[in-house]
Amino acid sequence: MEVAELEATARQIRIADLKTVFAAGAGHIGGELSAIDILTTLYFHTLRVDPSEPELPTRDRFILSKGHTACALYTTLAFRGFIDKTDLSTFLQPHSALNGHPNRMKVPGVETNTGALGHGLPIGVGMAKAAKLSNQDWRVFVLCGDGELQEGSNWEAAMAAAQFKLDNLVLIVDHNGLQQGASVAETNDLAPLAEKFSAFGWATATVDGHNISQLRDELDSQSVTQNQPKCVVANTQKGRGISFMQDRAEWHHKVPNQEQFEQALQELQVTT
Ligand SMILES: Cc1ncc(C[n+]2csc(CCOP(=O)(O)OP(=O)(O)O)c2C)c(N)n1
Ligand SMILES: [Mg+2]
């Protein structure tokens, strides 16, 4: 897909995510909108995955470590053909497979259950090590939140990844500067983030997390540094694409009312 087509797909995924959260009356829309350009680049460009064979042993693995933004993953999986788009209307309903956090036993394409922050990277390290041990060339991608990086388990995993020389592992940090109800900087500051990963032995890159061509270039296998895991710090905006949600902490978990929904829909249809 060309960049313009990827951008158009991301716009459609944003619209579907908004509609799904509005219909369900719950979701984490701020962190979903910050991650959708990343998810679109991964699923429509980078990942070697096949929706008709979601468990193919040679597939690339993706872990949504920031599991609270499950709706963005479900929407992306629906557009990519892993699940039916009509399933999105069941999000959060009793007996639906589409729970508030992703469940690998229920949703094709979900590699591991997440939701308790701080576990995606440790699991990804194990997967990447397994690929190395079995001489497989599939890659592992983990998307985590910036607030999530305050969990110490990430830094233990980061050390292990460098020690094991896991150049088949990419961590993308959705660096939107906000966590639940406050900024990351005023809670437990991570800066300088790329430098920290660099000091832990990782290759690093910093991109505009809403610029699909930058994301595409940094996630491609050609930009791997041999023997080093890679951290891509993606500078993003929570609530990206909707003026009254952008960079506003309260939209972490808020749901638009009817009037806000209509305005949001109009903005996404016109701009982004
Ligand atoms: C271990 C753990 N602690 C607390 C929570 C509750 N929680 C859900 S989302 C969130 C904030 C996450 O912020 P960030 O990682 O920056 O995510 P984003 O901004 O991308 O939504 C918190 C504290 C959780 N899911 N897991
Ligand atoms: Mg954040």
HEC secondary structure over 227-243 = CCCEEEEEECCCCCCCC
Q: Is 120 in the pocket of ligand 1 (CB under 6 A)?
A: no
Which residue has the least CA distance to atom 8 on ligand 1? 68
Residue 140 — φ and ψ, nearest 5°?
Answer: -125, 130
Residue-level pLDDT at 270: 82
The arithmetic mean of pLDDT across residues 248-257, rounded, is 98
What domains appear along the chain, each with residue ranges and CATH number? 3-270 (3.40.50.970)
Q: Which residues contact 5 (CB under 8 A, 6 or more apart)?
A: none
Strand partners, 61: 140
Q: Is 240 in the pocket of ligand 1 (CB under 6 A)?
A: no
Task: Please check the confidence at residue 272 and state whether its pLDDT lies above 50.
Answer: no
Please report, to the nearest 10 degrees, the dihedral formed by the alpha carbons of residues 42, 43, 46, 50 taken in order.
150
CA proximity to 38, closest of 262, 243, 233, 272: 233
CA of residue 30 to ligand 2 center, whole Å: 9
Kindly report the pTM of this predicted structure. Answer: 0.98
Confidence label for 271 from pLDDT (cuts 50, 70 and 90): low
How many angstroms separate the CA atoms of 137 and 243, rounded? 42
Pocket test for ligand 1, best of 101, 117, 171, 174 (most atoms within 8 A of CB): 117
Q: Is 199 in the pocket of ligand 1 (CB under 6 A)?
A: no
Q: Can you read off the two tokens belonging to residue 252?
A: 């972490």
How many angstroms separate the CA atoms of 57 and 49, rounded? 10
Which ligand sits nearest to residue 68's alpha carbon? Answer: 1
pLDDT digits (tens, 9 = 90+) for 161-213: 999 999 999 999 999 999 999 999 999 999 999 999 999 999 999 999 999 99
